[in-house]
Structure 1
Amino acid sequence: MASSSSSSSSTQTKKIYLTAANGELFEVEEPVAMEMETVKSFFDFGNEDTTKDMILPMLNVSAEHMSAILDFYRKHLEFRKRIPPPSAEEVKAFDHAFLENKSNEQLKELIMAANFLNTKELLDFLTDATAKRIKNKSVEYVRAFFEIENDFTPEEEAKIRAENEWAFDGVDED
């Protein structure tokens, strides 16, 4: 059993068990699991037979992304509980390190996992990071990033570019 729980001073914390798409089991502290509305709604549904000992399958989330998401929320919950609160620079440094080695493909997959898990804070953070990655990029870069097929003919595209020349000023090199 792969356990992604971090050690804490309180061994009394209830655990929620989640399985990733590949079947890897994650033992998750209840406060961390409750950051995911998909998990939370299962327990808030009012089903009296629901126990925290159940294993919830998260079939749309890979083990790699589940682990990253759990790490993100463990750290952000720690930040929220800290007295005095951490500096904005410390939070930004963690967030930067979280994304530092993520490829565009990994970022998009994390967004899909965060969306499936309905984790607003992380989803907002990831979509903002995506916006920053595509800011001032060429149309070709953005198409490649989102895997969008160009359905314009070369003539149509040339006409649109000519009519909207201003939109291409200041575009970064890809």
Structure 2
Amino acid sequence: MVQLKSADGLTTVEVEEMAALQSNMVKLALEESRPDQCIPLGNVTGPILKKIAEYLRMQSEFASKKPQEIVEKDLPELKDDVAKAEADLKAWKKDVEAWEDQYINVDLNMLFDLILAANYMDIKGLLDLCLEKTASLIRGKTVTEMRETFGIENDLTPEEEEKIQAPYKWAY
């Protein structure tokens, strides 16, 4: 087990080592220190650390349950095995996607904190998931809708905005 401590020092979570190794920062910390030491995370708050620990545990569990892929060869006796393996893999992917959709359904503040923490801890899968969610919030929206979604005030005058948009009239 690996102990991770939040920036304020008030929250400590324990995660299995295989799960914790999804973070390259934790991997480096474990190589440099004794595994029984608590790893301090200077830029991660308690609630975000708990959310990240949940992600690490579930991704590790999903990885351990991933069905093996069978490469189809021209052997008739393997056809049933290949079909079953493909069905199992498809069901597994569906379970992972359903869990990730539920996991990442958070408010904007938590989403941005998760992005910062995943980047700081170098957890590629979590960072990709968070950025994909952010992209889905932007996709297909106008500038005005994006401002509303992210709470961004428009500090441009109508003339300044027209000057900026003029070369891109085709997009509006």
- Do residues 74 (structure 1) and 57 (structure 2) align? yes
Structure 1 residues 21-60: Cα deviation after superposition (integer angstroms, max 9, x where no partner): 2321112211111111111111234xxxx21111111121
Counterpart of 2:7?
21
Q: Tell me: CA distance 1:161–1:83, structure 2 relative to 1, closer, same or farther (3 Å).
A: closer
Matches of 2:25 and 2:94, distance apart in 1: 30
Counterpart of 1:91?
96
Matches of 1:99 and 1:81, distance apart in 2: 21
Aligned-pair distance for 1:162?
4.2
**Identity over aligned pairs, percent:** 35
**3-state SS of the aligned residue for 1:17?**
strand
Structure with larger Rg: 2
Matched residue type, 1:78: E
Question: In the comparison of the two structures, how many residue pairs are matched?
Answer: 149
Matched residue type, 1:122: L
Matches of 2:54 and 2:5, distance apart in 1: 16
Aligned-pair distance for 1:145?
5.4
- Do residues 42 (structure 1) and 29 (structure 2) align? yes
Greater Cα shift, 116-125 or 155-164:
155-164
Matched residue type, 1:40: K
**3-state SS of the aligned residue for 2:26?**
helix
- Do residues 52 (structure 1) and 35 (structure 2) align? yes
Greater Cα shift, 24-33 or 112-121:
24-33
Mapping of 1:1-174 within 5 angstroms?
15-23=1-9, 24-45=11-32, 50-82=33-65, 84=67, 85=89, 86-100=91-105, 102-143=106-147, 150=154, 152-168=156-172
Structure 1 residues 65-98: Cα deviation after superposition (integer angstroms, max 9, x where no partner): 1111111121111111115355221111001110
**3-state SS of the aligned residue for 2:2?**
strand
Matched residue type, 1:30: E
**3-state SS of the aligned residue for 1:26?**
strand
Contact 2:2 2:16 in 1 (8 A): yes
Cα RMSD for the two superposed structures? 2.1
**3-state SS of the aligned residue for 2:44?**
coil
Task: Structure 2: give runs of 5+ residues left out of the alignment.
Answer: 68-88
Matches of 1:83 and 1:21, distance apart in 2: 34
**3-state SS of the aligned residue for 1:76?**
helix
Aligned-pair distance for 1:149?
6.1
Q: Tell me: CA distance 1:83–1:162, structure 2 relative to 1, closer, same or farther (3 Å).
A: closer
